[in-house]
């Protein structure tokens, strides 16, 4: 890349402004009740324009990812970029920062966008709700469009939900009752994902599946941006799986075009970028710079970050092998370096730093387990608040008071601690890849990975993206870590602490054990889930995301 006065020179000559032919959009999914309120002609025309302008650049960025993974796999460790040093060294520039309703983000709740979970989130008492159309949503056609309907209704104060009646009880009605509801920050799917129920024609005349990112973002923005502004907030987004400043620039151009297209003031959109990939950790400052007119902060997406580390270093030898998933905590060297750098980088540029997920689900039948979990959550949030984070994530409403207490103790009446600059932090590139933990792989840890991955994938195939497993609310990131660890342990010829080699045959035995232990019901997808797990954990090749093949070949609506 060639540095310029404004940042990084684009690698493509595709225009982002000016007249451009409309790309034909075709909806191939079934049109159920109220779908026409989301898939309106004007909304589809907007999706058409987004794809005409940005689909080609999306493919360019995905090709960049492949090249970068190839380089790392062949021994070229990532470094802080020399061609963008001028951005990091310029002390003057600052980002847009918090938009209305985002000034205080000390506790954010995450969850999918089905009606019941939407209502629970809005009644939770959190400051922000991450309305997740990505890892916590199985991207069935029903979930994609009906999630948009949930958000459409919630923003207009007209959302309600009645649970199905049973033989012994009538359906229960749910409504939003909170006087103050969380600010909504919607997370669209990542750049790598497609929407197979919507097709577009590219410039070469080929019919292609639409971008999941542009579909999720485009429908939400088109229908809700103006109403959100009228409500005193704005159209806000969490951006997942970003790997480079160029990907951030692509999003910024999408935002700029969208604001101009709908006649909204430039900079109205606010984004928070999840730093959940290893390459992005080396470009945090550049990502902030490229989104500087539209960005509010960065988030430490801890689980996907661990997955990204394994994915990039899976073939680089035994020194890059991690132990049991449960042992890879936020205090191990590479995770500590990454979060310290994130806080320092954000505050240097006037951005918020948002901490990672606490996924525990209270077990009301076992108060002792719940109490122990609350202690762990409290300790985790105390560390984050003490490190300078401005807020954090939880997956269950009962964790909000626990997390809020730790941030209240540090923040007091202040809405954030962006003014805390952390000049004492000095993170080197080598520290971001220091995965030495010195703990063994246990047989129970291997089994836990196989069990959790298969149970999650099975639920995902049935349309559930956020799944309660072993007192934790799991999403796709947990399954990705689990299967990638198994793949790496096999290919690096690892053994458990009792000397048992981790081989394909050994894992096959664990798959059989899992299938024998789960409760089988009519219509379950455990056999398909086991097949998918074999494909992504036991094969010679390493699929970049398990959801890609599972979505294309197994997910039905």
Contact 320/430 with Cβ under 8 angstroms? no
Distance CA 545, CA 237 (A): 22
State how far the Cα of 279 lies from the Cα of 276, in Å rounded to an integer: 9
Question: Of 311, 130, 147, 264, which is closest to residue 215 (Cα–Cα)?
Answer: 147
Among 554, 187, 138, 144, CA closest to 354: 187
Q: Which residues fall within 8 angstroms of residue 12, CB to CB, at 6 or more apart?
A: 56, 57, 60
Give, as one character, the DSSP assignment of residue 496. Answer: -
Q: How far apart are CA 348 and CA 421, in angstroms?
A: 6
Asked about 187 being catalytic, the answer comes back as yes
Whole-angstrom distance, CA of residue 151 vs CA of residue 119? 10
Q: What are phi and psi of 335, to 5 degrees?
A: -75, -40
As a whole number of Å, the end-to-end CA separation of the chain is 43
Q: Which two tokens stand for residue 278?
A: 């290893």
Contact 265, 298 (CB under 8 A): no
Q: Which of 53, 475, 494, 525 is catalytic?
A: 475
3-state secondary structure of 74: coil
Cβ contacts of residue 229 below 8 Å, gap of 6+? 235, 264, 268
Catalytic residue among 57, 68, 69, 187: 187
Q: Which two tokens stand for residue 483?
A: 């299967």
b/e code 221-236 from CB counts within 10 Å (16+ = b): bbbbbeebbebebbbb
DSSP 168: S
- Asked whether 251 and 218 are in contact (CB, 8 A), the reply is no
Residues 6+ away with beta carbon under 8 Å from 97 = 296, 350, 351, 352, 418
Q: Known catalytic residue: 527?
A: no
Region of 267 (left: φ > 0; alpha: ψ -120 to 50; beta: rest) is left
CA distances, 268 to each of 252, 283, 285, 347, 508 (Å) = 12, 24, 21, 21, 52
What are the DSSP calls for 434-456, one per residue? ------PPPHHHHHHHHHHHHHH
Nearest by Cα to 536 from 465, 488, 467, 497:
488
- Which residues carry out catalysis? 187, 475
């Amino acid at each position: 890349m060639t540095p310029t006065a404004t940042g990084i020179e684009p690698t493509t000559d595709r225009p982002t402004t000016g007249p451009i032919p409309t790309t034909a959009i075709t909806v191939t999914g079934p049109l159920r009740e109220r779908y026409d309120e989301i898939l309106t002609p004007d909304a589809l025309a907007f999706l058409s324009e987004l794809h005409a302008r940005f689909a080609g650049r999306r493919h360019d960025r995905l090709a960049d990812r492949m090249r970068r993974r190839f380089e790392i796999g062949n021994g070229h460790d990532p470094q802080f970029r020399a061609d963008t040093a001028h951005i990091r060294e310029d002390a003057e520039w600052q980002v847009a920062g918090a938009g209305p309703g985002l000034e205080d983000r000390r506790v954010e709740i995450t969850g999918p966008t089905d009606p019941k979970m939407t209502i629970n989130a809005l009644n939770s008492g959190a400051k922000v709700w991450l309305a997740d159309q990505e890892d916590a949503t199985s991207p069935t056609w029903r979930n994609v469009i009906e999630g948009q309907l949930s958000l459409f209704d919630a923003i207009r104060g007209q959302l309600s939900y009645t649970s199905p009646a049973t033989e012994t009880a009538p359906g229960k009605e749910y409504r939003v009752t909170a006087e103050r509801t969380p600010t909504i920050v919607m997370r669209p799917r990542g750049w790598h994902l497609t929407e197979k129920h919507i097709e577009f024609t590219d410039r070469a005349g080929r019919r292609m599946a639409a971008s999941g990112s542009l579909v999720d973002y485009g429908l939400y923005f088109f229908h809700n941006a103006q109403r959100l502004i009228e409500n005193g907030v704005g159209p806000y987004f969490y951006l997942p799986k970003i790997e480079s400043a160029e990907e951030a620039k692509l999003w910024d151009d999408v935002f700029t075009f969208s604001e101009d297209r709908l006649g909204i003031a430039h900079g109205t959109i606010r984004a928070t970028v999840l730093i959940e990939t290893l390459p992005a950790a080396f470009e945090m400052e550049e990502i902030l710079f490229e989104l500087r007119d539209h960005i509010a902060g960065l988030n430490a997406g801890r689980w996907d970050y661990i997955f990204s580390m394994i994915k990039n270093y899976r073939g680089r030898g035994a020194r890059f092998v991690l132990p049991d998933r449960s042992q890879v905590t936020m205090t191990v060297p590479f995770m500590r370096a990454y979060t310290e750098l994130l806080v320092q980088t954000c505050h240097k540029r006037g951005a918020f730093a948002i901490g990672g997920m606490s996924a525990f689900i209270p077990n009301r039948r076992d108060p002792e387990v719940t109490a122990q979990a609350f202690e762990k959550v409290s300790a985790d949030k105390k560390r984050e608040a003490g490190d300078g984070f401005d807020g954090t994530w939880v997956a269950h409403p009962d964790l909000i008071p626990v997390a809020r207490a730790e941030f209240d103790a540090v923040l007091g009446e202040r809405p954030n601690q962006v003014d805390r600059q952390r000049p004492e932090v000095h993170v080197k590139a080598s520290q971001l890849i220091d995965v030495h933990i010195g703990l063994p792989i246990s047989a129970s840890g291997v089994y836990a990975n196989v069990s959790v991955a298969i149970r999650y994938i099975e639920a995902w195939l049935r349309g559930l993206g956020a799944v309660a497993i072993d007192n934790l609310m799991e999403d796709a990131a947990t399954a990705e870590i689990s299967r990638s660890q198994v793949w790496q342990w096999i290919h690096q010829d690892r053994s458990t602490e009792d000397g048992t080699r981790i081989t394909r045959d050994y894992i096959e035995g664990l798959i059989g054990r899992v299938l024998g232990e789960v409760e089988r019901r009519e219509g379950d997808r455990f056999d398909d889930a086991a097949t998918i797990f074999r494909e992504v954990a036991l094969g010679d090749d390493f699929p970049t995301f398990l959801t890609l093949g599972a979505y294309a070949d197994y997910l039905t609506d």
